[in-house]
């Protein structure tokens, strides 16, 4: 029933209309999401080290935080309509393909949650598999929705 589930999600994503925001508010959102992403970076490094050490309790906690931040309703709030500035690398596609953007976040959340479950199971093979599936989450979204660095 994947197709049905996907269609339902598309409807949900479409319903999460971006906030329209004043310039000043968008500034906060841009800085807020950049801070969030930097936190993701730090967390993924900690997760990598924890997976290597088989410190699965740490894996579960750190990855659950990422999953919570990628929750569609929470994540959507970071991206007021067309909020960009000189420092933002968000592509216009974020808003032009809003449903895809939301579904990419959703997919990332599901992979994160699978990794949390695997970590809780403390089963090495399950963790390895879920960690591998989680791996491309960041890059996949950046490829479509984040512009190349200009310098
Ligand atoms: C659903 C899409 C999406 C996902 C998933 C995602 N990112 Fe991002 N990320 C973006 C976008 C878009 C930007 C550009 C934001 C801006 O500059 O306004 C960005 C920016 C960044 C930045 C630069 C922040 C700065 O200081 O300007 C880092 C670092 C980053 N992401 C890390 C990650 C990591 C690590 C993950 C995975 C755990 C991740 N991102 C997951 C979309 C995503």
pLDDT by residue, tens only, the chain of 151 residues? 456 676 677 767 766 666 655 556 688 999 999 999 999 999 999 999 999 999 999 999 999 999 999 999 999 999 999 999 989 999 999 999 999 999 999 999 999 999 999 999 999 999 999 999 999 999 999 999 999 987 5
Instruction: Answer whether 37 contacts ligand 1 (Cβ < 6 A).
Output: yes
Nearest Cα to Cα of residue 57 among 118, 15, 144: 118
- Judge if the beta carbon of residue 106 lies within 6 A of ligand 1: no
CB of 78 closer than 6 angstroms to any ligand 1 atom: no
How long is the chain? 151
pLDDT at 128: 98
Q: Which token pair is 101?
A: 């953007």
- Tell me the CA–centroid distance for residue 142 and ligand 1, in Å: 6
User: Residue 126: is it exposed, middle or buried by C-beta count within 10 angstroms (0-12/13-18/19+)?
Assistant: middle
Write down the pLDDT at residue 23: 56
Scan for tokens 């999953």, then name that residue: 67
């Amino acid at each position: 029933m994947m197709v049905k589930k996907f269609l339902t999600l598309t409807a949900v994503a479409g319903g999460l209309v971006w906030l329209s925001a004043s310039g000043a508010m968008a500034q906060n959102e841009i800085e807020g999401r950049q801070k969030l992403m930097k936190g993701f970076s730090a967390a993924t490094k900690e997760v990598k080290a924890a997976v290597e050490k088989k410190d699965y309790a740490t894996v579960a906690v750190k990855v659950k935080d990422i999953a919570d931040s990628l929750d569609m309703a929470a994540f959507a709030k970071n991206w007021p309509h067309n909020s960009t500035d000189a420092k933002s690398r968000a592509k216009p596609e974020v808003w032009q393909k809003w449903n895809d953007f939301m579904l990419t976040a959703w997919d990332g959340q599901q992979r994160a949650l699978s990794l949390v479950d695997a970590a809780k199971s403390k089963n090495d093979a399950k963790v390895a598999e879920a960690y591998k599936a989680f791996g491309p989450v960041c890059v996949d979204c950046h490829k479509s929705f984040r512009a190349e660095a200009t310098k």
